[in-house]
Structure 1
Amino acid sequence: MGKQGKKQSHLNRQQCRGAKTSSYYEEQDQEYPSTPLASPFEEQNNESQQENSAEEVDENEQNQSNSDVPSKFWLYQQSVQSPKGDVSYLQKFFLMYVGGRMPLHLQEDFCGTALLSVEWLRTDARRTAVGLDFDVDALNWCMENNVNKVGADVSSRLFLFHGNVLQPLEAVLINSVPQDLVRNLSLKDSEDGAVTVPPLGSEGSSETMICNGTMKDTQMPARDIVCAFNYSCCCLHSRKELVLYFKYAHSILSKRGGIFVMDVYGGTSAECELRMQRKFSTFTYVWEQEGFDVIQRKTRISLHFNLQKQHKKIRHAFSYSWRLWSLPEIKDCLDEAGFSSVHFWVRSMPDSEDIKTINGFGIGRDIKYEHVTSFHQQDSWNAYIVGVA
């Protein structure tokens, strides 16, 4: 994409988001896409380092018309996400902490290409999913490459919104949900009533509204599960924002019980400069972590891709400024937002010095999360945090 394309993309983002009111908006002013990243700590193995002889190309200068160059969103899905594993844990957490019924209605905040939502819908024909993300390019790619290729039965149960999690009422529905389906879902979920997101900070919620294009006006089933994965809550830099978002998540959960699930990473290696690689058959995924500000608890994370066949490097495919929240901070904010209990599921990861270069997903998928009430600091760990409503 040339300079004109970069300028137009930036203007489009400005028109979509309106006035800036928080640090989440301020970060979006930079020429970085908003899709969150995921750490190579997630899966590990040892392998020799790839040669760095490829031509360097900034993501914004990438020739999008070149069919030989894969999309950064496809590369992200292949190298980072594990939707089947996430769905399995979500269902496990719901049955453990709520129980009494199967979870059917999911909301995936910061959904990016909504790969998790699509996987959720595949697993049960009764399920619905709501996806919300700020990055219109990711959502458009999702529609073309994930939603439109799974069949009408799956895609018709997905509500996909473009907007900010701090202003969910203004999020715009970008795919068409059949109204007879919405009515049927409302009848089946009549014990809850359909939920329309209330203004943040208000009490209660409307039972039914007519779909006319925004989340505020869209009738949807109350959610059994709300999730924010790929460390997305690190995009929220202040405690006020985090509590506000948690209150929103709490407000759309079913009155019969529901859960909010997020993930976070940490360890001593999370608070220093770090560069790691994961090698796949046709490309190498590179995680780059800049220095860590111990006062503001902020760092910048960049994701690069080295393409073997094309001999190109897509630098800064995704880049973002993160506030690395601690587990006690997150628990305090969830408590304040009204969740009745908070649970930590943590898994230890190999030391970063031993896995600077890894091959594929390696052994990481064999490392299970365990419920803990205390956990001693180490080089690297990942955690699911479950808030129960």
Structure 2
Amino acid sequence: MGKREKQKQKHQRGLARGALYYLQDQPDIGDTPRLPPPDELEEADDENNDGEENDDEQEHEGMKNHEHPSDDMPSKFHLYQQSVQSPKGDISYMQKFFLMYVGGRMPLHLQEDFCGTALLSTEWLRSDPRRTALGLDLDVEALNWCMKNNIPKVGADGFSRISLYHGNVLQPLQSKLVKMDPQEQLRNTSLTEDAVNLQAGLLESDLQTGSASEDAESNKKSFPPPRRDIVCAFNYSCCCLHKRADLILYFKHAHNALSAKGGIFVMDLYGGTSSENKLRLQRRFPNFTYVWEQAEFDIIQRKTRISLHFLLKKQQMKLRHAFSYSWRLWTLPEVKDCLEEAGFRSVHFWIREMPDATEIVRTEGYSAAKDVKYEEVTNFQQQDSWNAYIVGVA
């Protein structure tokens, strides 16, 4: 087989989970089935892949490679949501963490950073009619897809309870509100302004007319800074931040967004001995095969490249590098130190062991780890693979 062409990396999309997270069933509280994302299945070199790892590619040898999706192909965002994300489980754990470490009220206001298609935010809205959500991501295509496909499923009031922003988590106040109007995709409204209006229950028609700067200045004087009960960053998105200074800066933004009455920041992370090696895992579904590929691991910079591949059986097409990331794999102590430096008063680890990667090179659908729950720990012996929620309490 010929060697593949390299694809341009896209950072801070918030659309990735670790290998074993992708390839195992999520037993989270209230969890629902997920399907895999569209990807561009990479042609593997004979010298790098042998035995069972090549079976799927040999089986679909006649498939065509497609760099760009066509009209008869499902959206890569839809497939990603089905395969990777577990919004009900994440929400159940976040609510549990909030009640444990803050308490006194139910969490109603969520900020989802690296939100991608904001599936978690829309599920948050569906879980309680009083809830609001704010999503932030660099990928405007994913945000627009959410506007057209996810928010309408919430109900008639969905658009009035959520705001999606196109911007960088390191510079959140410079982000722009995404609008449904195709003639005006990005509106000159600051994240601060719109979040204040959202929590104050103001509709756009209720606001004074005038320039964006005038409106922002008016709102700053009339309302307190916007505050959320929970800020989250899932899908291992913090691994997109490679520098310690950037990680601390992001944590400070998250801390500042939380309610003065108390709030939590929740992120996820993966690790284990298998996370620091070259790795390729496959999972078959009735209509596609999902492939996670982890490149060589640099032990000095703690960096690796993650590629998500996937082939569509019905369309007889390979999608290569549908999602690709350059990640720094942070350690748990590093994250804890950075959270504390950013101002969080306590940090808690919830971990679950995942199956040995050498035993699940290929799986059929969701099979392993169905009964394994996350547990709070203060120490944990190294394993082949593990997943963790990290909770910072403000």
**Which residues in structure 2 correspond to 1:85-96 (within 5 Å)?**
85-96=89-100
Matched, 1:41 2:20: yes
When normalised by structure 1's length, the TM-score is 0.79
**Deviation readout 1:227-269 (Å, 9 max, x if unpaired):** 0000000000000000000000000100000000000000000
How far off its partner does 1:75 sit? Answer: 1.1
Query: Which residue of 2 is the match for residue 186 of structure 1?
Result: 200
Query: Which residue of 2 is the match for residue 195 of structure 1?
Result: none
Query: Which residue of 2 is the match for residue 30 of structure 1?
Result: 8
Q: Indicate which of 336, 344, 364 corresponds to 1:339.
A: 344
What secondary structure, in the 3-state scheme, does the structure 1 residue paired with 2:157 have?
helix
How far off its partner does 1:140 sit? Answer: 1.2
Whether the 8 Å CA contact 2:110–2:132 is kept in 1: the answer is yes
Q: What amino acid is the match of 2:82?
A: Q
Q: 1:145 to 1:218 in 2, by over 3 A?
A: farther
Q: 1:182 to 1:260 in 2, by over 3 A?
A: closer
How far off its partner does 1:39 sit? Answer: 2.3
What secondary structure, in the 3-state scheme, does the structure 2 residue paired with 1:375 have?
coil
Q: Partners in 2 of 1:285 and 1:76 — Cα distance?
A: 10
Q: Indicate which of 57, 65, 68 corresponds to 1:62.
A: 68
What secondary structure, in the 3-state scheme, does the structure 2 residue paired with 1:284 have?
strand
**Which residues in structure 2 correspond to 1:114-193 (within 5 Å)?**
114-175=118-179, 185-186=199-200
Q: What amino acid is the match of 1:90?
A: M
How far off its partner does 1:119 sit? Answer: 0.3
How far off its partner does 1:358 sit? Answer: 1.4
Query: Which residue of 1 is the match for residue 315 of structure 2?
Result: 310
Q: Partners in 1 of 2:387 and 2:88 — Cα distance?
A: 17
Q: Partners in 1 of 2:176 and 2:343 — Cα distance?
A: 27
**Deviation readout 1:70-96 (Å, 9 max, x if unpaired):** 111111111100100000000000000
Whether the 8 Å CA contact 1:162–1:174 is kept in 2: the answer is yes
Q: What's the RMSD between the two structures over aligned residues? A: 2.9
Q: 1:241 to 1:33 in 2, by over 3 A?
A: closer
Q: 1:52 to 1:156 in 2, by over 3 A?
A: same
How far off its partner does 1:305 sit? Answer: 1.0
Name which of structure 1's ranges 142-151 and 265-274 shifts more when overlaid on structure 2.
142-151
Q: Indicate which of 346, 349, 353 corresponds to 2:354.
A: 349
Matched, 1:231 2:236: yes
**Which residues in structure 2 correspond to 1:204-215 (within 5 Å)?**
210=215
What secondary structure, in the 3-state scheme, does the structure 1 residue paired with 2:150 have?
helix
Structure 1, unpaired ranges of 5+: 1-28, 189-208
What secondary structure, in the 3-state scheme, does the structure 2 residue paired with 1:350 have?
coil
Q: Partners in 1 of 2:362 and 2:252 — Cα distance?
A: 40
Q: 1:180 to 1:87 in 2, by over 3 A?
A: closer
Q: 1:286 to 1:322 in 2, by over 3 A?
A: same
Query: Which residue of 1 is the match for residue 306 of structure 2?
Result: 301
Whether the 8 Å CA contact 2:294–2:307 is kept in 1: the answer is yes
Q: 1:30 to 1:218 in 2, by over 3 A?
A: farther
**Which residues in structure 2 correspond to 1:200-279 (within 5 Å)?**
210=215, 221-279=226-284
Q: 1:300 to 1:180 in 2, by over 3 A?
A: closer
Q: 1:54 to 1:78 in 2, by over 3 A?
A: farther
Whether the 8 Å CA contact 1:347–1:368 is kept in 2: the answer is yes
Structure 2, unpaired ranges of 5+: 1-6, 26-51, 181-186, 188-192, 203-213
How far off its partner does 1:183 sit? Answer: 5.3
**Which residues in structure 2 correspond to 1:103-114 (within 5 Å)?**
103-114=107-118
Q: Indicate which of 69, 76, 79 corresponds to 1:75.
A: 79
Q: What amino acid is the match of 2:289?
A: T
Q: What amino acid is the match of 1:44?
A: Q
Q: Partners in 1 of 2:385 and 2:105 — Cα distance?
A: 36
**Deviation readout 1:119-157 (Å, 9 max, x if unpaired):** 000010110000000011111111111113332212320
How far off its partner does 1:55 sit? Answer: 2.2
When normalised by structure 2's length, the TM-score is 0.78
Whether the 8 Å CA contact 1:55–1:312 is kept in 2: the answer is yes
How far off its partner does 1:218 sit? Answer: 10
Q: Partners in 2 of 1:102 and 1:294 — Cα distance?
A: 42
Q: 1:180 to 1:234 in 2, by over 3 A?
A: closer
Matched, 1:361 2:366: yes
Matched, 1:388 2:367: no
What secondary structure, in the 3-state scheme, does the structure 2 residue paired with 1:122 have?
helix
Whether the 8 Å CA contact 1:33–1:318 is kept in 2: the answer is no
